[in-house]
Structure formats: structure tokens, C-alpha cells
Amino acid sequence: MLNSQKNIDEKAKDSITLLDEVIIKGNSILGNKFVAKNRTGAAYYLSTNELAEFNYTDINRALNKISGINFYEEDGFGLRPNISIRGTSPERSSKIAIMEDGVLISPAPYSASSAYYFPSIARMNAVEVLKGSSQIQYGPYTTGGAINFVSTEIPNSFKGKISTSYGSFSTGQSHTTFGNSYDNFRYMIEYLNYNSNGFKSLGNNLNTGFDINEITAKLRIEISKKRKTKQSLEFKFHHYDEISNETYLGLTENDFEKNPFLRYPGSEKDKMDADHIQYLLTYELNFSKQFRITSNFYFNGFKRNWYKLDDVVFEESSQKISKVISSPEKYPGHMSILKGDLDLENSLKVKANNRKYISKGIQTKIDYHWYGKNNSFNDLEFGLRVHYDEEDRFQWEDTYNINNSFMSLGVYGDKGSQGNRISSANSIASYVMYKYKNNRFTVSPGIRFESIKLSRDDFGESNPKRDFSNLSSIENKVSVFIPGIGLNYTLSNKLSIFSGIHKGYSPPGSSEGQKAEESINFELGTRFSVNNFNGEVIFYSNNYSNLLGNDLAATGGFGELDPFNAGEALVNGLEILLTSNIIKSAKVKIPFSFSYTLTNAKFLSDFGSTQDIWGEVSDGDRIPYIPQNQLNTSISYETNIFEFNLNANYNGKFSTLADGSAEIPSYFIFDVSFNYNIKKNISLKSKLLNLFNNKYAVSRAPAGLRPGHPFGFYAGVEYNF
């Protein structure tokens, strides 16, 4: 809600004049598009209406329209995305702050930041993206940006929906929400099921898909709604359960050209079994319209066992699958085993990547604003977070035989023999942000402080009872100040410029003395409104003094998660966003959007990285998996009865090794959706993904070429009440 009618009037006549006071819900960052467009740093608010155009279940497709975001796909359904903002390392989205309802949501954001769990876009009300100096409130990763997923909100009155859909590859989705509001009590309950048989083919018609179930419940109590000082408590519970027959094993060049949707028989037993639970308690204390305190008490638990092929053995030579797939001519015997052409006992090593995660803490935000001389607006915000997280590895490796292209268990592995350790992090983070606005000028300086203790206790590969007899421990402590400042100047009702500079930071690993990732980040942009077009153009530059890489199995490494120092790097780019409503009348609307991202990401140091997607690196090499050019455009035709949406996305080619010896070609994908309102509260929804059935590669990681989603048709019905 807006602070005054005067501000409402200003919003109506002025598309870029900075709005002073917007009351944002406690677990949201931006709250609406208008706030996003008027920050002193780059930001984007992906609204409920935008999400509803295609009802995407793949977060990669949903984020396509936002400039500055890079990613590479892995499974074609967006189960485990690899997202980069402004050229950060995209592997497992580990270099950006990922939040749900304002709380860090990665399984262990400090000690093991790889996002093997990722919030489902299908149950989100909005997505908020922060870039540039806008993000220093939301560490510990402050280089590229932050993404906050805003989950389904509690309704103000009795309301709900039931939707179901079905389509290609026996893919189904069921989504139900309902809730109500009383005088001092409100609630919401939500259930989501998403399942598919998958679009890859494995021998004997084995399932290569997944089955995901989620339930969310929210309860809100207004403690003192009618008093001057208002208090409220909101409790959120969320549970996620996933079984997916997903693998790290991709295809060789020749096999991909023949059939990009093939799965080798050697991946028959691969399966992810994951379970996530969240408890979130939010307390809001509003002393007045000018002064409020918001506190979050959170606990996230995640356990998963990704049981997947790791090594192939032929003539007593054991090789990683990534090595075999990248050089099949060197390992013909190993390839024959993977393809099921050679029967051999104890030839396939399947690793149980069994891990448990905990992420818990308390965070508080205090916000106070006031008016000074000449009606200047002042806002002071202070935040504090005390956080603990850990990753507990208890892994083993079983050996399988292969016969007639089918696998059978040979030898059980010893529990803990492939990883028996606990990595943990204790952190205290705080920040202060101040905003001053006087007429056309706004300045927002701020500083963040992080104090982190990272530890690793290794119990040994032959100590399943963890009796401390062979304990090996390492520890690393770091403290850092992260300053930033943003500026905004409104030249007219139709034009403003903004700029910012801040320190980029990513925590190091637990090895003593290891350096953190640090950079100096700058942005300069303009927002404008011309005739019927609104837009923004932003230039940015991230200058790394020390870039960090990670040893991830997801990128062809050994999966130890050990960061390594990669020296200097420079990432600069251009972001363009244009939106328009070509026709806007009482009966017809034709909204249009265009976004373009130019990213130049290069190493400025020489080093070797045999355990990462970077490979051997020389000064001037491009950072892998970051396309130089990306383009997205969409147009819709909307009436009161039906809605037609067309989205076109271009992803430029990118290297998969720093020396450029391997790459993923560019691709252009069209999606179409059609929604028809049968009645006021009943609608039919349909969509066509990859309209022209392009067959394209999206990645060479973790181990071989992987395809994008083929042509798919999905249709369903939604009932609102």
C-alpha cells in the first residue's frame, strides 16, 4: 500500500519518479515493479501476472526475460538450475544469494553453497532479482546478485484454486491452494505435485523422469491489530519430496548427433532421492508507519542421496565417466561397457552421494524513516543475522555388473568409504543502509560486515562409527567489510540515471588461509519512458582481484567442493530492457517486452584447473559457460476471454573449456501459450514448449553432451474460488 494519496497520484503521472514510502511485506524485498524500477541499483520484479502467462515449471525459462542473468541447463525440466548473475560462476547456482521469503534457502549457503535443492517456481507468487549495489543487504554472495522467491501469500478472504495439467512425456501437474482470513487469524494451505516419465530413452522403457510432492502451510496471527503498536506472528511450514531418475552421464559427440535423447545403459541405477523441510517464524513489530522491526527464525533441513554412476572399470583401469565421455577414442573398452555392448562383472562403480544439510539462524531488520528539512526523505535500515549451517557426508560406492545391457549388484561398498565428514560454518552478518532523497536526487550508502568460521571434521574412510579415532580437522576464519553506494538522479518525469559501486564477495573454503573471492563492481544505467515504451539500459563492470573455482562433480570434478584460487578476472556487460503496451484498451491489450544481455567474461591470469569446467586457463581466455549474447522477446494478445503469448529466446554459443576447444552452439527457442476463460473462475490453459522441435545441446557438464527440452504440449484446467 502507498503512504499517501499524493504518492498515488505521482505514480500515475510519473513512471520513474522515486516513491518515498512503500510498505513491503516482511519476507519480500521489492514488493512490486514500481519499487524495482526506482531503486538506486538494478533490480527486477517478476510479477504474478508474468509468471501466469506460461505457468512455467522450469525456473530457467521463467528467468529468460530478465537481462543480466546467465545459466546453463542440465535436465531439461529445471530441477537443478545453474544460474549466474552478471557472469558469476554458474555451477549449481553457488555464487548468488538464493532466498525464499527473505531467508537463505540453499542447503548450506556458507559451508556447501551448491543448490542441490531449488525452490519450485510453480508455487511462487513472484520472483525478485537484485543486481549491483542493491544487493549488499543480502550476502554472503554480493558479486553478481540475489534472487528472492516469494511464495504463495495468505489471502485476505476465503480464496483458493485447483489446477491440473497433463502433456508430453506423461508429464502431469496438480496444484491446490486455499486459505481464509478472520479478524486476527489467517491461514493458507498448498499442495503441489509435479511428475514426468522424462524425455530421454533408456533400455526396456525404464523411467527417466521424476515425481515431486510439496506441501506448504502458513498461519498468521495479528497480536495487536487494533492498537497503535501492531504486532504479528506468521509461521510457515514447507515440505518437499523428490524422486528423480536423473544422471550425470551425458553423451559423446557422435551419439548425440544420432539421438540426443539417448541414455546409456550404464546409468540405469542412477536416482536422486531428496527431502527438504523448512520452518520459518516471522515476527513483525510496527511501532508506527515510520518505525518497524521484522525478525525471522528459520530452520532448513535437507537430505539427499544421489545414487549415480561415477567410474567405469575395464582391464583394471578405473576411469571417471567425465574423462571417458570427453575422450571416447582413448577408452573404447570403457565406452563399450557404458553402452551395454560389453558384458563384464564389477565394471561399474555407482556412488551413493548421501548427504544431510542443516541451515538455521535468526535475522532481524530494523527500519526507520523520517522527513527532514525541505521535505527530504530519510530511511535508515539495520540488519543482523546469526547463522549456522553444515553439510554431513556419509557416502559409499557399490560395484555393479552389466549383462545384456542391464545392471546387477556385484559388491556392496563400505559405508563412509567415499566421504565421511562434516563441513560447517558459523557466521555473524550485519549491515547498515541509509537512503536520502531530496527532490530529484537519491543516494543510498551502505556497508555489510561478515564474520565467518568455516570448519571441516573428517572422520576417515574406514570409520563408519565416527569414534574420533582418526579425526582430521581444518578451520578457516574470515572477517570482511563490504561497502557500497548507489545514486539516482531524476532528470525529468521520463528520464533518470543511476549508478553504483560496491565490493563483491564470496566466502572461501575451510582450508586455513584460503582467500575469499573479491571484486570491485560498478554499474551505470538509465531508466526512461518514451511515448508508449519504458526501458532501461545498464553498463556494468566486475573486476575480480581473486576469482574462486570449486571442485564439483557437477562440473566433471571429484566432488570435494574444495574452492581454489583462480586469480584475476574481468566481467563487463550491457543490459537492455524494453517494455510496451502496444495497444491498451478496455477490450484488448498487447504487451511487448525485449531484453538483451551482452557479457564479456575473461580470465586475467594463467592457471591449471583439471578438476573444474574451466580446464587449462590462459590470460585472456573467456570464462566457460557464460554466453556473450542473450536475447529474449515476448508479445501477448489479451482480451477478457482469452490470452495468447509468444516467447522467443536466443542463447549465444559459449565455451565449455577456457581454451575454447569445446563449446555449446547457439540456439533459438520459441514457446507459445494459450489461455481461455470458460467462465469467470474457470479457465483452460495450454502451452507448446520448443515450438519447432529444435534439437540442441545445453551443456557438456557434468559428463558429456546434454539436450534441451524437445517439443512438448501441455494442457490443463484451473478453477478459482
> What CATH number is associated with residue 573?
2.40.170.20
pLDDT, tens digit, 9 for 90 and up, residues 395-415: 999 999 999 999 999 999 999
**How many structural domains is the chain composed of?**
1
Examine the pLDDT at 147 and tell me if it is beyond 80. Answer: yes
Q: What is the extent of the structural domain holding 485?
A: 5-720
Residue 66 has pLDDT above 50, yes or no: yes
Q: Which residue has the cell 544460474?
A: 83
Sign of the CA dihedral running 48, 50, 54, 60: negative
Collect all residues with Cβ–Cβ distance below 8 Å to 440 and sequence separation of at least 6: 489, 490, 491
Give CA–CA dist 86/299, Å, rounded: 30
pLDDT of residue 552: 56
Count of alpha carbons within 13 angstroms of residue 552, beta-carbon side: 23
DSSP assignment, residue 703? B
**556473450: which residue's cell?**
628
Residue 3's pLDDT band (boundaries 50, 70, 90)? very low
Span of 77-86, 369-378, 700-709 with lowest mean pLDDT: 369-378
Amino acid type, 683: S
CA–CA separation, 505 and 427 (whole Å)? 15
Cell of 430: 550485519
> Does 12 score more than 50 pLDDT?
no
- Residue 1, pLDDT score: 32
Residues 671, 650: contact at Cβ < 8 Å?
Answer: no
- What pLDDT, on a 0 to 100 scale, did the predictor assign at position 8? 35
**In this structure, what C-alpha cell is assigned to residue 378?**
530519510
pLDDT higher than threshold 80 for residue 9: no
What pLDDT band is residue 584 in, cutting at 50, 70 and 90? confident
> pTM of the entire structure?
0.94
Q: What is the rounded (10 degree) CA torsion for 81, 305, 319, 201?
A: -60
Distance between CA atoms of residues 306 and 271, nearest Å: 6
pLDDT digits (tens, 9 = 90+) for 214-250: 999 999 999 987 788 999 999 999 999 999 999 999 9
- CA angle centred on 698, ends 695 and 699, rounded to 5°: 135
pLDDT given for residue 11 in this prediction: 36
- Write down the pLDDT at residue 610: 58
Calpha distance 70→91 (Å, rounded) = 11
- Using CA atoms, how far apart are residues 416 and 396, in angstroms rounded to an integer? 5
pLDDT of residue 562 exceeding 70, the answer is: no
Distances (CA, A) of 654 to 55, 78, 436, 625, 665: 28, 20, 42, 6, 7
Per-residue pLDDT reduced to its tens digit, 495-554: 999 999 999 999 999 988 888 999 999 999 999 999 889 999 999 999 999 998 765 555
Cβ contacts of residue 531 below 8 Å, gap of 6+?
none
Rounded to whole angstroms, how far apart are CA atoms 96 and 538? 20
In this structure, what C-alpha cell is assigned to residue 392? 554431513
What is the average pLDDT across 621-648?
97
For residue 565, what pLDDT band results from cuts at 50, 70 and 90? confident
Counting residues of the chain whose pLDDT is more than 70, the rounded percentage is 93
pLDDT per residue as tens digits for the range 71-95 = 999 999 999 999 999 999 999 999 9
d(CA 646, CA 637): 9
Confidence of residue 687 (pLDDT cuts 50, 70, 90): very high
Query: What integer best gives the mean pLDDT of the chain?
Result: 93
Residue type at 693? N
> Which of 689 and 548 is assigned the larger pLDDT?
689
Residue, of 374 and 433, whose pLDDT is higher? 433
Helix or strand or coil: residue 483?
strand
Query: Which amino acid type is present at position 137?
Result: Q
Contact 297, 284 (CB under 8 A): no
- Report how far residue 679's alpha carbon sits from residue 669's, in angstroms, rounded to the nearest whole number: 32
Higher pLDDT, 468 or 683: 683
For residue range 295-305, list pLDDT tens digits in order: 999 999 999 99
C-beta neighbour count of 34 within 10 angstroms = 17
What residue type is 510 in one-letter code? S
C-alpha cell at 261: 535423447
With CA atoms as reference, report the closest residue to 488 among 541, 432, 439, 540: 439
Mean pLDDT of 316-334: 97
Strand partners, 482: 448
* Burial of residue 624, with CB atoms counted within 10 A of its CB: 0-12 exposed, 13-18 middle, 19 or more buried: buried
On the CB side of 216, how many CA atoms lie within 13 Å of its CA? 24
- Ranges of beta strands (E only) in 459-568 are 472-492, 495-506, 517-530, 533-546, 548-550, 563-565
Task: Examine the pLDDT at 16 and tell me if it is beyond 60.
Answer: no
Q: What is the pLDDT of residue 585?
A: 84
